[in-house]
Structure 1
Amino acid sequence: MPEWPEMENYRSLLSGLLLDKEISGVKVSREKSVNPEPEAFKQGLIGRKVIFVERRAKYLIFHLDNGRRLLLHLMLGGMLYLGSEEDKPKRNTQVEIEFGDKTLYFIGLRLGYLHLLTAKQTEEALSVLGPELLDRRMNEQRFIQLLSGRRGMLKTTLVNQNVMAGIGNCYADEIAFAAELRPDVKIQDLEEQDLAKLYRAIREVLTEAAERGGYMEMPLTADDKLTGGSNDWCRVYDREGEPCVRCGQPIIKTELASRKVFYCGNCQHGK
């Protein structure tokens, strides 16, 4: 599932490609991927312009020139491609939004969705999300306060979107590795210095992954050389049995609350 770095990469790239471009056509191949129903969805988009692209957690929000918002969540397996019919990937698309000679293809939206909402509806839909950890208003002390009094294991806390926004399976493992903490360590057992190190690890891992373009398997455009640059960068995620880049011991794969977990049993510690 695309996480903070992947969606931030999409936001950055699309901001330079779609702004002030008029929507000239809409095609919906899977009715359940959109809301409202397809005809109203199309009528609400055609003729409108995207004036701003925002990211919140794992969501993209396309701000339209009439004040409405197009809310996107890619969920598991979703991805985007901006191009022409000739160069688009040979993958099934659930929604296509045309911007003149370019089309934004929404691929793999079996669980993902596009909702056309008012500003208030968008705010309500996102109101349950926790804070953005790279927001300028967040700092080390506020992060420590955020986790003060919380109970539960590190990984399940990191991926809880109501606690903090944008982290999923992959980067939770990478963050735990960077902080030298086991994913199953209990939050309530961590000392202030551990939480400070965790905060720094979150910022470093997410920032570096976004700068590398995230781990998406497909570029956004035909000439996109950035997206997917993190595919071979992960230190522990999906590296079961490979030597740890810090100590050389094999990476362990296990399960935690029905989620797969990757970590080094030698240089990541518990309490």
Structure 2
Amino acid sequence: MSFERSGATALDYEICRYGVSRLHFRGPKRDLDGPYVAFLGGTETFGRCVPVPFPALVEQATGRTCVNLGQSNAGIDAFIGDPEVPRLLAGARLSVLQVPGATNMSNRFYRVHPRRNDRFLDASPILSSIYPDVDFTEFTFNRHMLQSLKALSDDRFRVVEDELRTAWSARVRLFLRGLSCPSVLLWIRVRTEDPLGADPLLVTREMVEDVSDLVCDVVEVKVVPAGASDDFAGMVVGQTEWPVAGRLIGPSAHAEIAAALNQLVG
């Protein structure tokens, strides 16, 4: 395996902000006066540890200005709750929304951080009543919390799954209905060993099909994490990122995603 270890901050992502947004996006900051394609999504869109993520590869291949609005670990809430995102999308000729997971968003059972959507804040009385044997103050991240709930009881966890999937469908439809530009759904399916299933977590084909009437196309790409495919060549891994590097997608996976999008964007 071949990759570059760097300092704690690893790559210079040229983090930037647009307008009054409270979100920090991957740069370089782009001029939004001309036509552009907006890419929204989570860690894969952001391109953690990858010098040239797939939005930049699409720009290189098509000549279209591509604006990376990815957020590490973002759910749909990060974009719905930001006042600047609608303006950014209103100016786009096309938006590409990476299908978000169903776990990193607030719902009837628990609240997440409004911008760092992978962070668990607290459980609702409903969830506490389903799991009276759980101390929810022990959890910082949604994934860890949900893994623990599933390990305790598959039967009880099915109730949680149903709520998250229902909330996901409603929230994603709400977001897509509010778009004033054509949109493509990018379903990046990442194989994992997680007991919760593949990323995006808890999202089924039926859920994606249910919202597909609100977009002009759905692009599905199956990829494998860098650790399972030895796709480390060209990655830049900082000291704080080393524990998760193997679970990220590498440069070859980014190239595969870009190839699936080039014709649509071009």
TM-score higher than 0.5 here? no
Given the two structures, how large is their TM-score scaled by the length of structure 1?
A: 0.28
Higher strand share: 1
Higher helix share: 2
- Determine which structure has more spread, i.e. the larger CA radius of gyration: 1
Given the two structures, how large is their TM-score scaled by the length of structure 2?
A: 0.28
